[in-house]
Structure 1
């Protein structure tokens, strides 16, 4: 058992490297060296454990980032995105992009096929979920007095696979109103658990902190205030696939031992840093449980 865990940890090092260095060297010599395996067998070993080759995993990470650039950063040129994704030119980039998402980069930019994007993302998350999960402890949880925080919120209702389109509208609105994430905090309101909620009933709020009043319009954004009060706070660093583990620890382990009860306000997240501005492995998310 111990030998198997050691063997697996060596492969997990490669996954972490690919997540943390999407633009770094990903040749066979580099990746097999990180795992300390023979380069003649590394690809088969990696594929046997994760169901995908290391090269395909790294390529998919870069293409998923490219898709977000296309959808959320309309002023970035397709050529620049292709080059920044490691392709020599737009033709090779377009072929790889179409193979993964079923659309050309320009077509995706105009009208993204979000279910295809979601499926590609889920495939990455499934690989990550096979990694050893972080073990949380009471020392990871901090009780804070959260101040009343006014937001403008766009509510996503329906299939989580279509959340990307709501995010796209939210980013466009805050960009039009000059509310950049670097100056105006980004919050998510986690009303429902996607693992247990029917897709048609799912709700998820996208919020930006602002004290300014905006007149009603057809954007769908509405004012909402996170009320002041105590919260249990736990920080997650890394891809969103790890958030569920932190939330599970709060509800299943920490909360019953704390002697506290949840307040009548949903779990919420503050997105301290966001992908694709930083690699997914460096994303910082503060999770707040009102108590």
Structure 2
């Protein structure tokens, strides 16, 4: 590694430390001086350094991140009071939260909770920044048994997957099948969102079950199986928005050099936790690429 590469890597690491600190302390006051200390940057220059790397000023970034997490809680924790969500995501009171939310998304938090418009939400919410370079992927080959699942098929824009996910969560809660605390949660990805007509894009959301479920339900949840066999697997910690790029790296870099061939089943994911529960840098997801015997 050259001196220039070392300096760049160190700089990126310091910015990443700030992002992770913000992510983990959203409910606390986040002042520029304290953030500059996390990065070991001069407080006189930190605002410009952060803006140059991330593309928006730190104050705006913090507000949008708070609104991002609040949106997930509104959609996926319908029993939680809006005031509690506001306080947990760093707003001093519900009025300031409602003003900020409506200014960005054009609807109140209550209106969003009743009818989330995820496509409009995505148009206003910038993608989570990706500063840290991925380390060499630690890929393992495992052999798995069949996994019986209850499955809900999403077809349409990738930006509306959260609507389908919310419906699946509601089915899990109301039916009592595949309780999320005891049963694993999966995503099955037959289509690449970057190489597919948005209206033809498919993604399957699934939960582990111990027995077949009744399929005559209003949610459209059906029985299915993730077939057992050999898989290449790699663990990712961080935003789900990085998963597509990691999958592409598996296909582009690892597969040609491995000598392996692919089985006739799509790439799939095992989600260990969820965006409405933990900070995005704490999300843990296992990626599985099915291989021939």
Give TM-score scaled by structure 1 length. 0.92
CA distance in 1, matches of 2:88, 2:192: 35
Task: Note if 1:254 corresponds to 2:257.
Answer: no
2:127 maps to 1:124: yes
What is the CA distance between 1:246 and its match in structure 2? Answer: 2.3
Which whole-Å CA distance do the structure 2 matches of 1:86 and 1:23 have between them? 4
CA distance in 2, matches of 1:86, 1:135: 32
Deviations 1:134-176 (A, max 9, x none): 0324xx1111111100111111001111112111111100111
Q: CA deviation at 1:5?
A: 4.7
Partner of 1:177: 175
Count residues with an aligned counterpart. 285
Shift of 1:25: 4.6
Distance 2:136 2:11 in 1: 23
Distance in 1 between residues matched to 2:83 and 2:187, nearest whole Å: 32
Contact kept, 8 Å, 2:12 with 2:132, in 1: the verdict is no
Gaps of 5+ in 2: none
Report the aligned-residue RMSD: 1.7
Per the alignment, in what secondary structure is the counterpart of residue 127 of structure 2? helix
Equivalence for 1:161: 159
TM-fit CA distance, 1:282: 0.8
User: Which stretch shows the higher mean deviation, 175-184 or 225-234?
Assistant: 175-184
Cα distance in structure 1, aligned partners of 2:118 and 2:242: 22
Q: Is residue 190–residue 205 contact of structure 1 (8 Å, CA) maintained in 2?
A: yes
**1:27 CA drift (Å):** 0.9
- Work out whether 1:217 is the aligned partner of 2:214: no
1:85 counterpart residue number: 89
Distance in 1, Cα, partners of 2:122 & 2:229: 35
Corresponding position of 2:204: 205
Match of 1:239 in 2: 239
Tell me if the contact between 1:102 and 1:116 (Cα under 8 Å) persists in the aligned partners: no
Pick closer, same or farther for the CA change 1:197–1:75 going to 2, 3 Å.
same
- Structure 1 CA distance for aligned equivalents of residues 8 and 212 of structure 2: 58
Structure 1 residues without counterparts, runs of 5 or longer:
none
Q: Deviations over 1:92-143 (max 9, x none)?
A: 110011112111001001111211222244x133xx13x1320324xx1111
- Cross-structure match for 2:264: 264
| Cα distance in structure 1, aligned partners of 2:11 and 2:208 | 45
CA offset at residue 24 of structure 1?
Answer: 4.5
Secondary structure of 1:161's aligned partner? helix
1:61-99: CA deviation from partner (whole Å, max 9, x where unpaired): 121111111111111111111111222221111001111
| Superposed displacement of residue 249, structure 1 | 2.5
